[in-house]
Chain A
Amino acid sequence: MTTTQQHYSPFDCLVVAEQTPAGLLQKESQEVEVLLVLEIELRASDEPLVPLNEKHHVDVAKSNLPWKDRTPQLMMQLTTHRTVFWSETASKQRQGRYLHHSQLLQLNTESAGGLFQKSPKLILQTAAMGELCLVFGAAKKRDECFSAYQKVVSRRGWETPTLNTIQTAPRRRVGLDALLTSDTRRHEHAAQLAETAFQGDAELLLKEAQGLVQIIQHYVATLERQHEFSNAQDKETQQLVGMLQHMGMTSALTPNDTQLARELTDFVRPHLTAQHPVMTLTDVYCLYNRARATHLLSPDDFRAAAEQCHSLQLGISVATLPSGLVVLQNDQYADPVHLQERLTQLLHDHALASLTALDVSRYWRISAVLAMEQLKLVERSGSWVRDETLESLRFYPNRYFCA
């Protein structure tokens, strides 16, 4: 509880969720995220509920504060096991609290509109907390959440792990002739299709689309000149910004996905150790996408997420070296003095007088490009010097160097 908190609300009465070091939900076994709602309000009945602390006991300090029956501006994460609500402070510190789905008794919707312009809602009947109400900004989002809840509750994933048997389609044996014929037919069809589609559909589409796109681009250019895009406050401009992002027309629009930045940090931090605190962004991208296996990230999204890590104070940051190479580094060990000490230690460990980029690459198991950059970095500080020969480029500790 912060010293400035003047009341407690339904959010304070939920169970505190465990977080990863990057501030993401620490998931239970077999737990999978189903839906994310960025802005939601949580309401409870008028009767005050019991606030809980991190140890799941009654929070006596909070219970002495006045009760407020609603908590606005929460982010909701629906998983197969729980509904997790996230609250973020001004200093980007997150707290998550959850309602386990085993507590759900009933789920209903409440329509929007009417004489008093009510917002669309989902009503949850729970065993421990009575009636809770989720208030959405749009009916579409409420309906999406409702159908997600129905699926999650019907599967009851928190009770027993489900085993998915992968059914493979039986392989048809076909003769070589049939294979060759079908291959030829496929190529002919594709060639024909490419021609007709782009003589028919594509030309027509281009003709119709170009006019529309010109109007959009004219408007975007006007707003950019007026610097309104980056400061977009009103709902319609935000809607237009969202639509343009959605269609890939993202000239000056930057996505703001802190969730992705945190996931990336959780993944890459174990790889950025004291011995290897730096990796090229390309290498991290390959590792991360390999780990995801499906729904891979685009390089644009990945770079945008990586660049947010520093502002979110997650302990890693993107750095651009003088050659233009972009790396991801662990802030704790990014100090050049630390690098000098590691290189000197490498010399001693392997009884070497000098190092090449290939030596560093081999012993530290990093890419040769990154190894060369690290050697050039210490050379720039003056603590190491180079010797260029036909055979290779070697780096030696500078015995005349005084720090």
Chain B
Amino acid sequence: MAYRRKGVGVGRFSADRQLQQKADEMKAVSLQSAIDTCEKLEIKLTEFAKTHRNDIRNDPVFRQRFLEMCAPLGVDPLSSDKSFWGSVLGMGDFYHELAVKVAEVCSASRSTNGGIMSVKEVQAILAKRKTRLGTASAAATVSASDIEVAIKKLGKLGGGFRTIKVGKSTMIVSVPNELDGDIMRVMAVGNEISHGITVDDMIVATQWSRERVERAVQLLLQEGMAWLDTHQGEDYYWFPSSWQEERAKLKEQAT
């Protein structure tokens, strides 16, 4: 059987040097094309951002949809205040100041609620203070989504800040402790009732054994997320995060 002594196609050439040259040329062309593409994208985003800058700053609905629009593009407008977004939109200051305020509110109430409080409650406290955030106008409101975005950013500082769903409510956790499924379920039951609840009530609601309910309740007591009230020989457990949320909801309905 005959074999070719020389290769065919690219294999004919003395390999490495020419291939490397070709690879470098192709890389240079791709690199330039990526740079050109970045410039085009920046122009388009700038046009959009400049047109809607004030709306992004002042309207929470518009702001949320803008962030939702950026997510599939892989763009994080809040990653740095020195970025394109910081200079064109100035929305960094809004979220960064909101993050500071949320952290302060959570820190101040930690001794009461053990480091868990509802987004609604935080929103009510901030609305009561009527403070102006960043370059937004005084009339700009802070929505629950804004608070959740700020919490997500705060999480990068390793303080344990995160949001969790407890029943129907979204809660902010500001301590690094892990909350297992049992604790979350007991808190959800507490949130639904929003007054003192006994172990027997929890057993009926969760269909668990007494030991399992008592373990979850003990953990919540130790973390300070639940309070114990002994009334006429009966132990009632109260969840400060849920009754504060209820108060905030009632106030909102009244206004």
Contact = CB atoms under 8 A, between A and B. Distances in A.
B127 interface: no
A255 B48 CA distance: 26
B30 A219 contact: yes
Contact of A280 (B81, B93, B96, B159): B159
A193 interface: yes
Interface of B: 28, 30-35, 37-42, 44-45, 48, 51-52, 55, 58-59, 61-62, 65-66, 69-70, 72-85, 92-93, 96-97, 99-100, 103-104, 107, 110-111, 115, 134, 139, 153-154, 156-161, 174-177, 218, 221-222, 228
A387 interface: no
Size class of A's contact patch?
A: 35 or more
A217 B177 CA distance: 36
Contact of A369 (B69, B74, B160, B218): B160
A300 B72 CA distance: 20
A26 interface: no
Contact of A247 (B31, B34, B45): B45
A288 B157 CA distance: 13
**Which of the listed residues B41, B97, B99, B104 has the most CB atoms from chain A within 10 Å of its own CB?**
B41
A285 B79 contact: no
Contacts of A240: 31, 34-35, 38
The 6 closest A-B pairs by CB, nearest first: A326-B158, A282-B159, A296-B96, A219-B34, A248-B76, A243-B38
A198 B65 contact: yes
Interface stretch (A85-93, A111-119, A202-210): A202-210
A215 B37 contact: yes
Secondary structure dominating the interface of B = helix
A202 B45 CA distance: 10
B79 A236 contact: no
Secondary structure dominating the interface of A = helix
Interface string A180-217: 00010010001101100110011001101110110111
Contacts of A378: none
Interface of A: 183, 186, 190-191, 193-194, 197-198, 201-202, 205-206, 208-210, 212-213, 215-217, 219-220, 236-237, 239-240, 243-251, 255, 280-283, 285-286, 289-290, 294-303, 320, 323-326, 358, 367-369, 388, 390, 392-393
B38 to A, nearest CB: 4
Given A209-B44, A236-B28, A280-B159, A368 B110 contact: yes
B81 A297 contact: yes
12 contacts: A194-B59, A210-B72, A216-B34, A246-B42, A247-B42, A247-B75, A247-B84, A248-B79, A255-B80, A296-B92, A324-B160, A325-B176
